[in-house]
Amino acid sequence: MVEAAFLEHLRAIAPRLNALMDRFTEARVMVAGDLTLDEFLTGQVERLSREAPVLILRHEETRQIPGGGANAVYNLAKLGAQVKAVGLVGKDEQGAVLRRIFEAAGIDTGGILLDGDRPTVTKTRISGHARQSVTQQIVRVDRKSDAPADPDLQLALADYIRQHLNTVDAVVCSDYGDGVLSAPVIEAALQHSLCVVDTQIDLHRFAGATVFTPNLPEAEKAVGYGITGGDSRSTPSGNRLAQAGADLLRLTRAQHMLITRGEEGMSLFSQDGSQHHVPAFNRTDVFDVTGAGDTVVAALTLGLIVGATPVEAAILGNLAASIVVRQFGTATTSVAEMKAALRSLVEASK
């Protein structure tokens, strides 16, 4: 359960949060990121193959949804923002599918360039079930290249970002380590006054960004030591978590550092020395945390654009994430769902 004191605080600021969410449609965001297509193939197990000791599935359904940095793009669009996507896709069907999904959602794909040397990053999850049984993942097949993007493409992406900086209210860097966030691209993105960074590795590459949103393992890797030790319930003051927040701010020269801590909530550290802890809003109905970080970034960014304080923006990010973790696979939410979730929390405080 969420702490009673925080629920009371949430009840007091609920009208303000609702008003902020009503303005999400005003926000204009550019996302530079590693665009991924997530495929989910499901089928019913028929028998063992005679060719090899493997299952034979009768195909039932294939779902294709944005993943990786594309999930951040999609989350922003589903929350009502006007979004420009910047990244690379291959000259393949997966890249075409991703473009079609974006265009159907009203996302500007002018910044998505074709990479003839590398495939669209695609993660295919194959799952099966017997009759009247739960579907379970059997194997995942990844299509990607570890080769860096062509230098000309890197410069073209950076040039697109610079040309459109004045048309957006924020730039999000969604770095999954697949090569789009090269030095020229990062340099261009950092020229915006509101740059939000979600990266799995090497936070120092984005030094000077406004906000970083590492999860706990990413934060520990960046500072080089364990943050919470053996006590996962560590509070955000007087321990290594507070020290890590300060160290990360020095490392990145960021204005704010939001460390997401799963079921323990989020901890926000700022250059003015302030620290704030936001408890998890949903600890019991967590089915899949895949892509939840992208949802946090989306709601956080939109909050900052429309005038939320960093703490209010973190609360909005937490609220959005509490919804998508209830669903399997990468997922999105909406302002209507966020308002309903907030209403439920407020009612719990009465």
**Active-site annotation holds for 294:** yes
- What SS3 string covers the chain? CCCHHHHHHHHHHHHHHHHHHHCHHHCEEEEEECEEEEEEEEEEEEEECCCCCCEEEEEEEEEEEEEEHHHHHHHHHHCCCEEEEEEEEECCHHHHHHHHHHHHCCCEEEEEEEECCCCCEEEEEEEEECCCCCCEEEEEEEECCCCCCCHHHHHHHHHHHHHHHHHCCEEEEEECCCCCCCHHHHHHHCCCCCEEEEECCCHHHHCCCCEECCEHHHHHHHHCCCCCCCCCCCCCCCCHHHHHHHHHHHHHCCCEEEEECHHHCEEEEECCCCEEEECCCCCCCCCCCCCHHHHHHHHHHHHHHCCCCHHHHHHHHHHHHHHHCCCCCCCCCCHHHHHHHHHHHHHHCC
Burial of 303 (0-12, 13-18, 19+ CB in 10 A): buried
Among the listed residues 38, 108, 247, 294, the single catalytic one is 294
Strands 121-129 and 35-48: parallel
Give the pair of three-digit tokens for residue 47.
């028998």
Query: How far apart (Å, rounded) are the C-alpha atoms in residues 327 and 339?
Result: 18
Other CB atoms within a 10 A radius of the CB of residue 304 amount to 25
**Catalytic sites, residue numbers:** 294
